[in-house]
A and B are shown apart, each in its own frame.
Chain A
Amino acid sequence: MKMSYLSLIYFFFYMPIFILVLYSFNNAHYSLVWHGATWHWYQALFNDYDLWIATWHSLILGVLAASAAMIIGLLTATILYRYEFFGRYLLNGLLFVMILSPEIVMGVALLILFTTIQLPLGFISLLLSHISFCIPFVVVTIYSRLVGIDKNIFEAAKDLGATDWIVFTRILVPLVAPALLASWLLSFTLSLDDVIISYFVAGPEFEILPLRIYSLVRSGIKPELNALCSVLFVITCALVILSQLALRKPKTSEIN
């Protein structure tokens, strides 16, 4: 009874994706009937020059946004964990609200900002936006790893004369390395998949993958699109699984 309910929900989650991947190999243009397997649609993707450009743009954007967000998020999680300071709760609350707030509000807010300061919409506006929406997720991921660490380690290091910077680079960073990797991968995935915020802050000169997919999706089902979506789903799926493996709770012996 319990198992069948669980199976039903997982079926609901994964069946549509499974069918999407299956049909990306179907040797027919419009039909839902199975006409045999083909690589044809994947070859069509491979030869689509514009698509490669959009992919390249998304990769650069994702790598830079994830790296910047990881660094800023790591520093922020560190001070939230180690220090008491004025406005600590405010900072915590603001990050929390940023995770909860609807993406569209952030999208239009950034659009108004960029228009007001007359920053042309394109790579820079996208990068700044992507870094901003990734930061709260990085902070949460790293912070929840930090709370599992024995604080005495830091006290011991300080007693032995280590400065804050040494404690940070030699002790704290190695200890949170798995969470750091996970937060990078998740930020990269978020950046690669983001439609709503990018939709408002992207410019015509810098096309990115999710927006290209969105404009294709609006024109209906196409086998090439099935193939593209399948590829992207499999890649992001792998990234998420990797991030979760990195976040697995270590055995106590590894922490001490």
Chain B
Amino acid sequence: MKLNNGFRNNTLILIWLWLALFALLPLCMIVLESFSTHQTPQPTLTEFTLDNYRFLINTAYFMVFEKSLLIAGSVTLLCLLLGYPFAYIVARMNDTVKNYLILFVIIPFWTSSLIRSYALIAILKTKGILNSILLSLGIIHQPLAILFTNYAVILGLVYNLLPFMILPVLTNIERLDYRLVQAARDLGANWLITFVRIILPLTMPGIIAGSILVFLPAMTIFYIPDILGGAKSILLGNLIQNQFLIAHNWPLGSAISTLLTLILVALVLIYWKMTRSNKKSEWL
């Protein structure tokens, strides 16, 4: 493959130029912007300051951070608890059935999460479908106020992000050599020990990939808290959106975005550490 390298070189130039211009450069600009002062609308390093970060730690914004981490953490845990058994059952099915079952998880993975969140409103409203059913069954006597609470936000996030947990975990479980499980059972390990010592460690890369795909969007899909949580519900995504488009405090918004990127980098490093032997990114 040494002869005709024009094709390779031109492609390399094209993709690196594109990524440098529309991925790396903008990311550097966010970091620069996060150290600049409020007056400058464009990133400049003439006035270097740490004030934006200091501001985040000292004020009420920090509470948004805490709340976002708490909600995103609960959502990730719920997705894992719901998604892992689901993925495990589906992975052990025969191929024909499995293909169809996976297809019906892929559909919500790719279709608009805004539309699917909107669909939840009719169900969660005070006079909505859920309350009507519960009332008519006599389970509750007062309609539950679910919409515009944190529970609605958590439910909406789990509803939207569950496929993002299921698919990487499923891919991982499919690659699991089931003979290892049988061997453990033959050697006298009970179901719990087999799961904790064999299955769980071997599927950890899938769990981590799924958790990254759930955790970060859970903090940053701003329209779900916006339409399901009401005005009180502010997560990191809403905070960034506010700083950029309403408060026009871009440096502060950039500081939050930079912190998010750092969280991402930390999670990716953990993921890479766990999958060093497995170079292909086949988790989608």
* Chain A interface residues toward B at CB < 8 A: 2, 5-6, 9-10, 12-17, 19-20, 23, 32, 72, 75-76, 78-79, 82-83, 85, 87, 91-92, 94-106, 108-113, 115-116, 128-129, 131-132, 135, 137, 140-141, 143-144, 147, 158, 163-165, 168, 186, 189-190, 192-193, 195-196, 199-200, 210, 213-214, 217-218, 220-221, 225, 229, 232-233, 236-237, 240-241, 243-244, 248
Residue-wise, chain B 12-26 has the 8 Å CB interface mask toward A (1 for contact) of: 101110110111111
Q: Tell me if A144 and B7 are in contact (CB < 8 A).
A: no
Q: Contact size class for B? A: 35 or more
Q: Tell me if A102 and B106 are in contact (CB < 8 A).
A: no
User: How many A-B pairs fall under 8 Å by CB?
Assistant: 248
A94-B19 contact, Cβ under 8 Å, with A100-B264, A104-B237: yes
Q: Tell me if A13 and B104 are in contact (CB < 8 A).
A: yes
Inter-chain CA distance A132–B26, complex, in Å, is: 12
Shortest CB-to-CB span from A100 to chain B, Å, is: 5
Report chain B residues within 8 Å CB of A143: 281
Shortest CB-to-CB span from B50 to chain A, Å, is: 19
Report chain B residues within 8 Å CB of A13: 104-105, 108, 159, 162-163
Report chain A residues within 8 Å CB of B177: none
* Chain B interface residues toward A at CB < 8 A: 1, 3-8, 11-12, 14-16, 18-19, 21-27, 29-30, 33, 41-43, 82, 85-86, 89-90, 99, 101, 103-108, 110-123, 125, 127-129, 132, 159, 162-163, 212-213, 216-217, 219-223, 226-227, 237, 240-241, 244-245, 250, 253-254, 257, 260-261, 264-265, 267-268, 280-282, 284
Q: List 21 A-B contacts (CB under 8 A).
A: A2-B89, A13-B162, A19-B129, A75-B14, A79-B11, A79-B15, A91-B15, A94-B23, A96-B281, A97-B264, A97-B265, A100-B264, A102-B220, A104-B222, A108-B244, A140-B281, A158-B1, A164-B3, A193-B113, A213-B118, A241-B103
Q: Out of A91, A110, A113, A141, which one reaches B16, CB within 8 Å?
A: A91
Q: Tell me if A20 and B119 are in contact (CB < 8 A).
A: yes
What would 11 more interface pairs be, CB under 8 Å, given A13-B159, A17-B115, A103-B221? A6-B86, A6-B90, A6-B101, A16-B119, A72-B14, A95-B19, A104-B221, A104-B241, A109-B257, A217-B117, A233-B116
Report chain B residues within 8 Å CB of A189: 110-111
Determine the residue in chain A with the shortest Cβ distance to B42.
A116
Inter-chain CA distance A85–B3, complex, in Å, is: 15
Q: Out of B108, B254, B281, which one reaches A112, CB within 8 Å?
A: B254
